[in-house]
Structure 1
Amino acid sequence: MIGARLGIDVGKARIGVSRCDPLQTLAVPLETVPRTSGATGIDDDIARIAELAAKYSVVDIVVGLPLSMSGQQTASTRDAEEFALALAQHLRSSNAKITVRLVDERLSTVSASRQLQQAGLRTKKTRGIIDQAAAVVILQHAIDMDRYATAAVGRLVGTDI
C-alpha cells in the first residue's frame, strides 16, 4: 500500500510519533504527544494522532508492541494493544480508511537512546526526543520489513469490530 505512514511509540507519559513520505522511503521524527488516554476511552492523545494522520494523508499507522526479550507479553504490551485498539476504533468511527498495526518493537528505545548519545545529545534532557526517535526506529523497521515481505508485517488491529 502506497502512502504516508505514522509510527507510534506508546509510553506511560508520552507518545512518540514519526512519519514517512508517501513512497515509504524514510521515517523521520514528527512530534511527542502527552499521554492522556486510558481505559476510559478517547482523549486528547488519540485525537491528536488522528489529526496528524489526516494532515499527512496517512494510510497506515504502526504501533510498537513492546515484548520482553523472550517474546513474552508485559504490562506495557497490554497497554500498547489497548491504545492501538482505541485508536483503530476512533479512526473507524471517523470513517478514516487507515489501518492500525502492532509491530514488535523490542529494543527500539535502547537503539534510539544510543543513536542520540552518539550524536552528542544527553538523554536526561531529551526524553521527548527519545520517544520520537523510538517511533522512527519502529516505523523504519516496518518499512524495511514490508519492502521484502509478501504481506504487511505486524498484526492488524480492530478488524473484528
Structure 2
Amino acid sequence: MVERGVRLAVDVGSVRVGVAASDPDGLLATPVETVPRGDTVEGGVSRLVEIVQERDAVVVYVGLPRHLSGREGSASEAARTYGVLLARALAPVPVRLIDERMSTVSAHRAMHASGRPGRRQRAVVDQAAAVVILQSALDFERSTGRRAGEPCESDGGGVEQREVSW
C-alpha cells in the first residue's frame, strides 16, 4: 500500500517544465502550472521545490522520455540529470523516473480534440503531458499497491560534470 498524499509529476522540456498534481487520495491528476526553464540546466528547480512544499507532496514523478523501442537517448539523459538535481533539492521527498512514451503526443491529441487552437496549445501542452504522466503513475499505484517508476537517487554524483544538450 502506498502512502496517502499529493503526488506531483513533471514533464521536463528544454524551455518549460509542465507540472501536474493529484488529490491526496491519488485518484485524479490535474494541471498545476508551466515553469520556465531559463538558460540553466537546473532552471525551474527552485519553483518546483516551492510547489512541492505548498502542496505537501509525498512523491514527485519525472517523465523519462524513451524511444518507442524502449531505448533511451539524449532526452532521457537530460531528464535523468534534471531528476537528480530535483531529488537533491527535494530530499527527503522521493523523486521517481517514469516512462513517458507518447505523453506529449497524447496531450496534443486531447487538446486538439477539445478544440484548443494549435498556437494556444504550447502554453499548456507541458502541463497536459505532466497530467498524462501522473495519471499513468496513479493507475499503476492503484493496480499494484506500489510506487511507479524507478528511484532517482539524489546522491548520483557526477551530474555537474555531465554535458547536457537541451
Deviations 1:1-48 (A, max 9, x none): 11001110000100000001111110000000001331xxx44x0000
Paired residue type of 1:132: Q
Gaps of 5+ in 1: none
CA distance in 2, matches of 1:110, 1:49: 24
Indicate the residue corresponding to 1:142 in structure 2: 137
Paired residue type of 1:58: A
Indicate the residue corresponding to 1:24 in structure 2: 26
Indicate the residue corresponding to 2:35 in structure 1: 33
Paired residue type of 1:135: A
Per-residue deviation at 1:91? Answer: 1.5
Per-residue deviation at 1:128? Answer: 2.3
User: Residue 17 of structure 1 aligns to a residue in which SS?
Assistant: strand
CA distance in 2, matches of 1:75, 1:59: 29
CA distance in 1, matches of 2:108, 2:143: 27
Q: Would the aligned equivalents of 1:16 and 1:32 in 2 still touch at CA under 8 Å?
A: yes
Normalised by the length of structure 1, the TM-score is 0.91
Paired residue type of 1:151: R
User: Residue 64 of structure 1 aligns to a residue in which SS?
Assistant: strand
Q: Does 1:15 align with 2:10?
A: no
CA distance in 2, matches of 1:120, 1:144: 27
Indicate the residue corresponding to 2:50 in structure 1: 51
Indicate the residue corresponding to 1:63 in structure 2: 62
Instruction: Figure out how many residues of one structure are paired with residues of the other and give that number.
Output: 153
Instruction: State, as a whole percentage, how many aligned pairs show the same letter.
Output: 40
Q: CA RMSD in A?
A: 1.3
CA 12–159 in structure 1, closer or farther in 2 if over 3 Å, else same: closer
Per-residue deviation at 1:150? Answer: 4.2
Indicate the residue corresponding to 1:73 in structure 2: 72
Paired residue type of 1:158: E
CA distance in 2, matches of 1:58, 1:150: 18
Q: Would the aligned equivalents of 1:17 and 1:132 in 2 still touch at CA under 8 Å?
A: yes
Paired residue type of 1:115: A
CA distance in 2, matches of 1:55, 1:136: 18
CA distance in 2, matches of 1:147, 1:160: 29
CA distance in 2, matches of 1:120, 1:128: 15
Normalised by the length of structure 2, the TM-score is 0.88
Per-residue deviation at 1:51? Answer: 0.1
Indicate the residue corresponding to 1:3 in structure 2: 5
Q: Would the aligned equivalents of 2:84 and 2:154 in 1 still touch at CA under 8 Å?
A: no
